[in-house]
Copies of this chain bind each other. A is one copy, B any other.
Amino acid sequence: MTDFAATKAMFHIPDGMIYLDGNSLGPLPKAAPARVAKAMTEEWGEMLITGWNKAGWMAKATEVGDRVAKLIGAEAGHVVMGDTLSIKVYQALASALELRPERRVILSDSGNFPSDLYMAEGLIKSLGQGHELRIVAPEEVEENITEDVAVTLITEVDYRTGRLHDMKALTAKAHSVGALTIWDLAHTAGATDGKLSEARADFAVGCTYKYLNGGPGAPAFIYVAPQHANLVRPALSGWLGHDAPFAFDLSYRAGAGIERMRVGTPPILALASLEAALDAWATVDMSDLRTRSQELTQLFLEEVERRCPMLTLASPRDAAARGSQISFSFEQGYAAMQALIARGVIGDFRAPDIMRFGFTPLFIDEVDVLRACDVIEEVMTGKLWDKPEYHARAAVT
Q: Please state if A83 and B264 are interface contacts (CB–CB under 8 Å).
A: yes
Within 103-146 of A, Cβ neighbours of B (below 8 Å) are at 110, 113-115, 117-119, 121-123, 125-129, 135
Interface size, A (range): 35 or more
Contact check: which of B115, B234, B237 meets A238 at CB < 8 Å?
A: B115
Given A207-B265, A238-B118, A264-B85, A397:B351 Cβ within 8 A: no
Question: Complex: how many Å from CA A52 to CA B217?
Answer: 11
Q: Please state if A217 and B12 are interface contacts (CB–CB under 8 Å).
A: no
- A32 CB–B CB distance under 8 Å: yes
Contact check: which of B118, B252, B396 meets A122 at CB < 8 Å?
A: B252
- A86 CB–B CB distance under 8 Å: yes
The segment from A21-29, A148-156, A378-386 found at the interface with B is: A21-29
- A77 CB–B CB distance under 8 Å: no
Question: Complex: how many Å from CA A138 to CA B303?
Answer: 71
Contact check: which of B24, B90, B268, B346 meets A215 at CB < 8 Å?
A: B268
The segment from A38-46, A294-302, A319-327 found at the interface with B is: A38-46
Question: Complex: how many Å from CA A28 to CA B37?
Answer: 11
Contact check: which of B41, B121, B263, B351 meets A33 at CB < 8 Å?
A: B41
Q: Please state if B395 and A58 are interface contacts (CB–CB under 8 Å).
A: yes
Q: Please state if A395 and B351 are interface contacts (CB–CB under 8 Å).
A: no
- A193 CB–B CB distance under 8 Å: no
> Could you name 16 residue pairs across A and B whose Cβ atoms are closer than 8 Å?
A21-B48, A21-B49, A28-B40, A32-B40, A36-B40, A57-B216, A58-B396, A83-B84, A86-B238, A86-B264, A114-B248, A123-B126, A125-B235, A126-B235, A207-B265, A216-B265
